[in-house]
């Protein structure tokens, strides 16, 4: 596990964003951990999160021209990441969408810079992939090219409901359907490595077994 990934997992745990216990997922699974990016809810946490997004994107070596944040969480994430990129010497435009079009002012559903060139979509996690699909359609409709999706955590588990799981993860489905890479800051393997390492407290280390069992049961190929 590289240092950036380890730092992100530790940061998420310390911020209370990554929690351990018993949680029911949207698909009806009983998960030993839960990641709630909505709890990056103050300036310091958001700034650090944006720095992780920015560095992950730069480390990927993917060429890009601008950022796009789908409403609603993606608006803040794309804005903050653009600021973080600028602080690293990469000043790029960003845009986001409204849920409903307006007929006054600039009108339409797209706010911010014009969608041009190679566009990175920024979201927190991918579950059903709906926001990514809608973003890809909007970007292509403007004549631009979606080139990557940047996310915080890849759970690396089979998508779908408990009684009808897919053999692919939600991330893999997005990559196959749209032909673009998904770049996570960290993934389930990184989480497991953290729980197995010296950085985890004894209280957290006890969740290593449940996380491993969950990965064995629901992990995508």
The predicted model gives 82-88 an average pLDDT of 98
DSSP 16: T
> What Cα–Cα distance (Å) separates residue 14 from each residue in 8, 30, 40, 93, 204?
10, 23, 11, 31, 11
How many Cβ atoms are within 10 Å of 38's Cβ, its own excluded? 9
What was the pLDDT predicted at 161? 61
The residue ranking higher by pLDDT, 130 or 208, is 208
What was the pLDDT predicted at 165? 61
pTM given for the model: 0.92
Supply the mean pLDDT for the chain: 92
pLDDT-based confidence at 28, cuts 50/70/90? Answer: confident
CB 78 within 8 A of CB 69: yes
The predicted model gives 40-62 an average pLDDT of 97
Query: Which of 162, 203, 219, 154 shows the shortest CA–CA distance to 19?
Result: 203
What are 153-173's pLDDT values in tens digits? 999 999 876 655 678 999 999
Counts of helices then strands in the chain (DSSP H, E) = 8, 10
Quote the longest CA-to-CA distance of the chain.
57
Separation CA 67–CA 50 (nearest Å): 12
* pLDDT above 70: percentage of residues in the chain: 93
User: Phi/psi at 182 (nearest 5 deg)?
Assistant: -110, 125
* Domains in the chain, CATH or no CATH each: 3-218 (3.40.50.2020)
CB 144 within 8 A of CB 115: yes
What was the pLDDT predicted at 163? 59
The predicted model gives 82-100 an average pLDDT of 94
């Amino acid at each position: 596990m590289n240092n950036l990934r380890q730092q992100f997992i530790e940061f998420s745990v310390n911020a209370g964003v990554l929690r351990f216990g018993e949680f029911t997922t949207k698909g009806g699974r009983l998960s030993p951990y839960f990641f709630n990016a909505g709890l990056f809810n103050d300036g310091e946490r958001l700034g650090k999160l944006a720095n992780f997004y920015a560095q992950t994107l730069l480390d990927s070596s993917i060429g890009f021209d601008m950022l796009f944040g789908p409403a609603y969480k993606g608006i803040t994430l794309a804005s903050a990441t653009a600021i973080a990129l600028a602080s690293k010497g990469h000043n790029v435009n960003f845009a986001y969408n409204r849920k409903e079009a307006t007929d006054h002012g600039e009108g339409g559903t797209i706010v911010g810079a014009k969608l041009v060139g190679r566009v990175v979509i920024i979201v927190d996690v991918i579950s059903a992939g709906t926001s990514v699909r809608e973003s890809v359609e909007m970007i292509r409709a403007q004549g631009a090219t979606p080139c990557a999706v940047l996310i915080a955590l890849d759970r690396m588990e089979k998508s779908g409901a408990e009684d009808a799981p897919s053999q692919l993860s939600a991330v893999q489905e997005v990559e196959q359907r749209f032909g673009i890479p998904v770049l996570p800051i960290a993934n389930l393997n990184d989480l497991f490595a953290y729980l197995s390492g010296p950085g985890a407290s004894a209280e957290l280390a006890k969740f290593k077994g449940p996380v491993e069992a969950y990965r064995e049961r629901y992990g995508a190929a």
